[in-house]
A and B are shown apart, each in its own frame.
Chain A
Amino acid sequence: MATSLRAAADGTPPPAPPSSPTRRATPPPHSGRRSRLYRWDLRLSPYAFVAPFFLTFAAFGLFPLLYTGWLSLHRVELGGDAEWRGLDNYAHLADSEFFWNALANTFTIGVVSTVPQLLMALGLAHLLNYKLRGRGFFRVAVLAPYATSIAAATLVFAQLFNTDYGLINTVLGWVGFEPVDWESSKWPAQIAISTIVTWRWTGYNALIYLAAMQAVPQDLYEAAALDGASRWRQFLSVTIPSIRPTILFTVIVSTIGATQLFGEPMIFGGSLGVSGGSGNQFQTLSLLMYEKGWVTGALGQASAIAWVMLLLLLLVGAVRMLFSRASRKKLGA
């Protein structure tokens, strides 16, 4: 996605079409059979080359998508037969306060994790864009959290946030605060989970921003400096507008990630992870889907949630398209 966006943004022409076969396909005069094979080769081998992608996509992308859609219209129990239900599962979701709770949690955790994450990433990228000593080291260092597995990171954070003997509460105690219930209270739990997400993805986004910043022509900065713009002014008026497509891209990718948030709350909650705490205080949509599907065995309802999530993401995608169309118009491209 990143590459295609950039390709479109910097206006490089699309790859040249494959050279027309007729130019080289002078049929060998002797055997008709061989020429037929040769023609087939020319006609079919491109399909053979692209087939792996399409087959894999059909098996792991398209089929699950359609099958889930089919399941969402049925009452299905793990290992049992499907029973037609029409849109009942969706109607049930609309009535279910657990669904709305999970949707709200997904949204709040998404906002609390995405907004600081992207702002910090912008700042970090800006700093890394300066000429500083050991730049390569820092660039690798900011990416290290991204390379850590979710499970490992979450387990460590769960220890740090432990209510009884975690480091964070200990430090809060030194400063004189009461210990915080990082798990059983709603907002602390959501903030703790958002912290894990932020920690993991900030560096990744920073690198993407950095790459975009380095593509900003230097003369823009020189011109701005000549006009007396401060560093901060330059950042606001030159850097940000220049990397706007990239920012939009990271917003979309983070939104998708936030909508699908699963591993962090699941592991953070320990034994209560699937239900998102004893009061569902940090149950996200993915967790609710998992609980429906694998804990209580209502696969039809779980599939309905999956489709609702898909529709939400399509909605986000549509909004993105409108935005980028508008911003392209503004840039006059």
Chain B
Amino acid sequence: MRTSSTSHRSRQRRRGTAITAVAGLAACTALITGCGADGGSGEAGDGKITLRIGTFGSFGYDDKTGAKLYAEYEKSHPNVKIVESNVADGQKYWDTLKLRLSRNSGLADIQALEVGYVAEATGPAMADKWVDLGKTGGADLDAFLDWKVNQATTPDGKVIGLGTDIGPMAICYNKDLFAKAKLPTDRTEVAKLWQGDWSKFLATGKNYQKNAPAGTAFHDSASGLFNAVISSQPVQYANTKGELDYENSPGVKLAWNTAVEAATSGVTAKLRQFDEKGTWNAAFKNSKFATVACPSWMTGIIKDQAGAGNQGKWDIAAPPVAGNWGGSFLAVPKSGKHAKEAAELAAWLTAPAQHAKVFGVNGNIPSTKHTLTSTVVQEAKLPYFGDTPVGKIYSDAAAGITPAPISRWDGQVKTFITDNGVLDIEQRGTDPAKAWENVKKLIEDKIEQ
């Protein structure tokens, strides 16, 4: 426009704006690439499709430390490439997943769901986002434990998730530390120390603490203990109608009292399980605690975190009261590009044969009926745990499970109670009565029912 008569000053100013514009543009690009790093699943150039699977914790499918199921499937399906993205913390994983579901973007083709959140996933806001795996993918629903299928069924009869594992619970203990603290190390004798009652477990903890090797604690975390106790209870957060009713639940009361007692009597290492900073993981490696409540999926975590240096030190004993802690499902979001192929893969991954393979490597207890009673599982041992009859211990525990009713807020309430209640008492010395008030206020304030 004004080409010839530009004054010196305005040229300077224009250069200024140009620089600002470039800087702005650079910032935008940085933002865009920053947020868009999560590439969508798509077709590779050679007609191969990539199936992405989102998991948390340890599912034991991967080709490195797991059962190498992806490699196997890719071999029998040459057109498929499988990519897993894993998040350690289950609550973080679910928060992100919820966000992505609401926008139908950034989702993996298969998403794992934890039992604490499955009621929310089958609820009115989300039920329509999932593929009905009873109809697509060819899964044999009769093979699964009935209650496992029921948990993932929507009110109108759609099955949105296929069971991977269940979480029958035992207690894993460090034999070295038990010996040093002058406690028995044989697993049947250890189990007798606390058989039948969580208060005996605490009493054992106080005994341990008397002769404890310096710098170690009996149990890893009071919030972990809360989870363990509540998983052994027939009434947890919800009433029989599937409504949240934690305040009147005898299970919550017992778990809270047990955890508070543990937190205030110094038998815990005051850690938070799955802490992102790795303090909990490091404590496994450095043998900072002697016991950890041990749902079957925990064995894989011990193997990975305690590492080769501690191989043979850990053993597994029957729990005070049998319970189920956790367990997961694989679900397929409708919006995925390859929903049909993903449903087939999910059905294959959760079929009895694969359950057995994963169990053999990672110790996840299958959620299919016949796999549980099969000799493979019954006689199974895990190399990391030496001659411990892992399969027997866990399938016995699985037989004692009575499924508790669940509500859509279970996972959230659990997080508030453990992270903002128990942990607050354990790490910051908050008065238990005040902490409970605080939890109630949090739930009231933050959960809109």
Contact = CB atoms under 8 A, between A and B. Distances in A.
Interface of A: 3, 15-16, 18-19, 75, 77-80, 96-98, 158, 162, 164, 181, 184-185, 270-272, 274-275, 278-281, 291-292, 294-298, 301
Nearest to A76: B448
7 contacts: A15-B13, A271-B91, A271-B275, A294-B95, A294-B98, A295-B412, A301-B448
B125 A77 contact: yes
Nearest to A12: B9
A270 B276 contact: yes
B129 A298 contact: no
B272 A3 contact: no
Contact of B427 (A18, A75, A278): A278
A294 to B, nearest CB: 5
Interface in B265-315: 272, 274-277, 279
Interface string B434-449: 0000100110011110
Give the 5 A-B CB pairs with smallest separation, nearest first: A278-B424, A270-B276, A79-B102, A80-B125, A78-B102
A181 B279 CA distance: 14
B2 interface: yes
B19 to A, nearest CB: 11
A162 B2 CA distance: 60
Given A75-B448, A294-B95, A98 B419 contact: no
Nearest to B129: A79
Contacts, number: 89
Contacts of A292: 446
B438 A279 contact: yes
B214 interface: no
B89 interface: yes
B343 to A, nearest CB: 21
B428 A97 contact: no
B277 A278 contact: no
Contact of B446 (A16, A272, A291): A291
Contacts of A301: 448
A185 B428 contact: yes
Nearest to B9: A12
Interface string B77-101: 0000000000001011001001101
B95 A278 contact: no
Interface of B is mostly: helix
B98 A275 contact: no
Interface string B352-392: 00000000000000000000000000000000000000000
A253 B48 CA distance: 51
Given A79-B102, A181-B428, A297-B448, 15 more contacts: A15-B13, A77-B448, A78-B98, A79-B98, A98-B446, A184-B428, A270-B277, A271-B89, A271-B275, A272-B419, A278-B427, A279-B420, A294-B98, A295-B412, A296-B412
B76 interface: no
Contact of B2 (A3, A19, A185): A19
B423 A296 contact: no
A184 B99 CA distance: 29
B185 interface: no
A98 B416 CA distance: 13
Given A271-B275, A294-B98, A279 B428 contact: yes
B124 interface: yes
Given A78-B102, A295-B95, A298-B448, A162 B277 contact: yes
Contacts of A97: 441, 445
Interface of B: 1-2, 10, 13, 16, 20, 89, 91-92, 95, 98-99, 101-102, 124-126, 129, 272, 274-277, 279, 412, 419-420, 423-424, 427-428, 430, 438, 441-442, 445-448
A187 to B, nearest CB: 12
Interface of A is mostly: loop
A271 B428 contact: no
Nearest to B409: A296
Contact of A78 (B125, B272, B274, B438): B125
Nearest to B448: A298
Contacts of B129: 79
A296 B446 contact: yes
Nearest to B92: A271
Given A79-B125, A96-B445, A3 B419 contact: no
B428 A80 contact: no
A224 to B, nearest CB: 31
Contact of A298 (B98, B101, B424, B446): B446
Contacts of A79: 98, 101-102, 125-126, 129
B448 A296 contact: yes
A280 B124 CA distance: 31
Contacts of A274: 95
A230 B108 CA distance: 67
Contacts of A281: 428
Nearest to A162: B277
A73 B95 CA distance: 24
Contacts of A278: 419-420, 423-424, 427-428
B428 A18 contact: no
B99 A98 contact: no
A96 B1 CA distance: 58
A3 B428 contact: no
B447 A296 contact: yes
Nearest to A46: B1
A184 to B, nearest CB: 4
Contacts of B16: 3
B445 A98 contact: yes
Contacts of B428: 181, 184-185, 278-279, 281
B125 A98 contact: no
